[in-house]
Chains A and B, each alone.
Chain A
Amino acid sequence: MNKDNKNIENRIKNDAVGFTPDIWEEVEKEIKNGKGEVVALPGEKRKGRIKGIISTIAAALVLISITTYAIINYDRIDKKIATTVYMEVNPQIELSLNAYNKVLKVTPHNKDGEKVLGEMKLTDCSLDVALNSIIGSMYQKGYLNDHSNSVLLSVKNDKSKDARQVCYSALKTFEDLKKHSDVGKDFPSAAVVHVLDDEEEAKKLAEENKISVAKADFIMAIRDRGIKRSFEELAKLSVNDLNLIFEGLDDHDMHEYRKDEYYGPIGYYGKASESDYIGTEKAKEIALKDAGLKEADLTDLDVDLDYEMGDMVYDVEFEIGEIEYYYIIDAIGGSIFSSNKVTPNFKLPTQPTTPDLTYSSKPSTSFEAEVSSKPQTSSKENSSSKVNTPSNKIDAVISPQRAIEYAIIHAGVDKDEVRGAEAEIDMELHEKYHYDVEFSAKGYDYEYEIDAISGAVLKSEKEFDD
């Protein structure tokens, strides 16, 4: 969790400690007077003594039946595919496992997969042995190295609990591999595992984009979690680059594998290699130097790797007071593709046009966004992409409040019914400057993109607030 979120949560917690009433005396008194109500929990029943005995007998009968079934059908269970593990580094391999996580079949899905498997006999091996062998082979043949160390696993089982168990076992294998084996000693590996929910959709997208099922599934998963890139753009990236983008998610930390703990559906171990790029520290240093600021003066700072129009870039965002800075830095060469400084010098009006926004004083003036454009071409060889930052200085964009009003008008809701309205300016390379507007009204959540210059609605979404 980032520092700001942690601080916010601590404040909520500490204030709650302060205002929680102390009612122990009343509770104690009522307990002594024999009060209290059983509130039924889902699926719970009161068990009388006779019911308890009947339950015990029934359980014993069920156990005998299961054991008998298992003995009679062991051969059938043993050979039935219970779990499919789709694996990708660049070599693509599919492992079919039975209910006991023994390998029934291993299928390479590309030539690199065939090279990795070679003459290995993995049938009847346990999952961890199979993974050990495959990862070892990948290191030996150079598919995993200090530039690209990420392994992607997508796990399919009809029972999500069993799929999560397999994911956990796989992550544990990676942890053990690093600790106990020479392989991975110099190149710490990174693994991402995901419970595959929609195999059909993943296969369809994989085929359309000519990528593996594991990769298609992972791209769907990270887009669900907030990565705002099209599927087609992300499909062009390597597994390692996708893992780096995944690491940029705000809630990335909560998916980390910890001993005895895996909640799924997505989990990771280790860190993706960033050695092809300048690194987050360097990107931050470049941006701060350009802005003439020191990290200690900042009120907020965020650096993420991203992919924009064919370039891996670092998005560096920081704030000092109310001034916001947005930098986009070439992840390979370190040149500044774009820099923006947003200086709010407005006051919100005293007569609110939407509720829930607090207002302080004078009527609004225009909201200035000072844009300094430093168009650079990518320093990558053979890159056909051109950076296309706005070259004109923009004197004014509409105010956040105006953006909210345009969104509300478009939504066709009464402004008195609007709750939690907010607008945040978004300045991305190659895109129109726009506001991301969110609000709720009449049981629905609304999200808008409003053109920051003209106020036009660029995108709108509405979903039921469940």
Chain B
Amino acid sequence: MLTFTTLAVLGVDDKTLDNLLLDVAKGDLSAMEELYNQTKTGIYSFALSFLKNPEDAKDVLHNTYLSIWVSAHMYETVGKPMAWIITIAKNHCYKALRDRKWKEENEKENEPATEDFAKDRDIKSTIWQYLNELGEDERRIIVLHAVAGFKHREIADILNIHLSTELSKYRRGIKKLKNSLISGGAFNE
């Protein structure tokens, strides 16, 4: 039986999200909670694909929802609520990258950012290990397509690349994943 969260990942419909955002704009906390439940996996996965660090991705997740809460009144219904939400998450990711760079340059003792997130004890996933090995865009594109449910053109717009570039990186990334799974004996798990 599918759990609610799995259902949520399977295809959050835009109309529902639209309505939730409008309710959040009015200060409806229960609408905010439902919006959170329906979108958290997509946002977290996207942040993880960007930052490759579970702690940083969790911070982005946290900050994205706070930003949604205070910015929801600025959302204009154009039928693409998830794209609006992911744009907020993307901006937080860029901020996190800038902060990380500043820390690396300025702090004397700091732990290097964990880039091999697949070794994190909370993330036990063979396929995400292999995702980690892909190029930056390849990984982000696949996650946005597979988890957040965006279409290719939407992904090209979010990442500000040409559609043909997006398609070829998607194709290449998926092919590499498949080959990694096969050579790792994990294809038929």
Which of A11, A23, A24, A445 contacts B58, CB < 8 Å? A23
Q: Is the CB of B142 within 8 A of A12?
A: yes
Give the shortest distance, in Å, between A190 (CB) and chain B (any CB).
Answer: 21
Give B174's nearest chain A residue, CB to CB: A5
Considering only residues 61-86 of chain B, those with a C-beta below 8 Å from chain A are 61-63, 65-67, 69-71, 74, 84
Residues in B neighbouring A466, C-beta threshold 8 A: 137, 161, 165
Say yes or no: A37-B67 contact (C-beta < 8 A), given A15-B128, A424-B179: yes
Stretch binding the partner chain, chosen from A26-34, A120-128, A449-457: A26-34
Q: Is B188 interfacial (CB 8 A cutoff)?
A: yes
Q: Mark B77-103, 1 if CB is under 8 A from A, else 0.
A: 000000010011001100100000000
Instruction: State in angstroms the CA–CA spacing of A4 and B91 once bound together.
Output: 33
Residues in B neighbouring A22, C-beta threshold 8 A: 40
Q: Is A226 interfacial (CB 8 A cutoff)?
A: yes
Q: Is the CB of B63 within 8 A of A37?
A: yes
Q: Is B125 interfacial (CB 8 A cutoff)?
A: yes
Say yes or no: A41-B88 contact (C-beta < 8 A), given A21-B58, A24-B33: yes
Q: Is A36 interfacial (CB 8 A cutoff)?
A: yes
Considering only residues 88-131 of chain B, those with a C-beta below 8 Å from chain A are 88, 91-92, 95, 122-125, 127-128, 131
Q: Is A420 interfacial (CB 8 A cutoff)?
A: yes
Which of A5, A14, A18, A23 contacts B61, CB < 8 Å? A23
Residues in B neighbouring A28, C-beta threshold 8 A: 29, 33
Q: Is the CB of B135 within 8 A of A26?
A: no
Say yes or no: A36-B66 contact (C-beta < 8 A), given A15-B128, A422-B179: yes
Q: Is A251 interfacial (CB 8 A cutoff)?
A: yes
Q: Is the CB of B127 within 8 A of A11?
A: yes
Instruction: State in angstroms the CA–CA spacing of A15 and B164 once bound together.
Output: 28
Residues in A neighbouring B128, C-beta threshold 8 A: 12, 15-16, 19
Residues in A neighbouring B37, C-beta threshold 8 A: 24
Give A6's nearest chain B residue, CB to CB: B146
User: Could you tell me how many residues of chain A have their Cβ less than 8 Å away from some Cβ of chain B?
Assistant: 57
Q: Is the CB of B41 within 8 A of A20?
A: yes
Q: Is A38 interfacial (CB 8 A cutoff)?
A: yes
Give B89's nearest chain A residue, CB to CB: A39
Give B123's nearest chain A residue, CB to CB: A19
Q: Is the CB of A27 within 8 A of B65?
A: yes
Instruction: State in angstroms the CA–CA spacing of A172 and B9 once bound together.
Output: 31
Give B10's nearest chain A residue, CB to CB: A13
Q: Is A362 interfacial (CB 8 A cutoff)?
A: no
Q: Is A263 interfacial (CB 8 A cutoff)?
A: yes
Q: Mark A394-423, 1 if CB is under 8 A from B, else 0.
A: 000000000000000000000000011010
Say yes or no: A39-B67 contact (C-beta < 8 A), given A358-B183, A424-B179: yes
Q: Mark B167-189, 1 if CB is under 8 A from A, else 0.
A: 11011101011110111100111
Q: Is A201 interfacial (CB 8 A cutoff)?
A: no
Q: Is the CB of B66 within 8 A of A19?
A: no
Q: Is the CB of A299 within 8 A of B188?
A: yes
Q: Is B12 interfacial (CB 8 A cutoff)?
A: no
Q: Is the CB of B36 within 8 A of A24?
A: yes
Instruction: State in angstroms the CA–CA spacing of A21 and B29 once bound together.
Output: 20
Give the shortest distance, in Å, between B82 (CB) and chain A (any CB).
Answer: 14
Q: Is the CB of B70 within 8 A of A37?
A: yes
Which of A16, A17, A356 contacts B133, CB < 8 Å? A356
Instruction: State in angstroms the CA–CA spacing of A12 and B146 once bound together.
Output: 7
Q: Is B19 interfacial (CB 8 A cutoff)?
A: no
Q: Is the CB of A419 within 8 A of B133?
A: yes
Give the shortest distance, in Å, between B69 (CB) and chain A (any CB).
Answer: 5
Instruction: State in angstroms the CA–CA spacing of A419 and B130 once bound together.
Output: 12
Residues in B neighbouring A26, C-beta threshold 8 A: 62
Residues in A neighbouring B176, C-beta threshold 8 A: 420, 422, 438
Q: Is the CB of B135 within 8 A of A19?
A: no
Q: Is B50 interfacial (CB 8 A cutoff)?
A: no
Give the shortest distance, in Å, between B71 (CB) and chain A (any CB).
Answer: 5
Q: Is the CB of B88 within 8 A of A39?
A: yes
Q: What are 8 pairs between A and B in contact, CB < 8 Å?
A: A8-B177, A9-B142, A12-B131, A12-B147, A37-B66, A263-B153, A263-B154, A445-B135
19 more contacts with CB within 8 A, not counting A9-B145, A17-B3, A38-B70, are A5-B174, A8-B177, A9-B146, A12-B127, A13-B41, A18-B125, A19-B122, A19-B124, A20-B41, A35-B66, A36-B66, A39-B71, A39-B88, A46-B74, A225-B164, A225-B168, A265-B163, A299-B187, A422-B179
**B interface residues with partner A (beta carbon < 8 Å):** 3, 5-6, 9-10, 29, 32-33, 36-37, 40-41, 44-45, 54, 58, 61-63, 65-67, 69-71, 74, 84, 87-88, 91-92, 95, 122-125, 127-128, 131, 133-137, 142-143, 145-147, 151-154, 161, 163-165, 167-168, 170-172, 174, 176-179, 181-184, 187-189
Nearest 6 Cβ contacts at the A-B interface: A263-B153, A9-B146, A36-B66, A36-B70, A15-B125, A16-B45
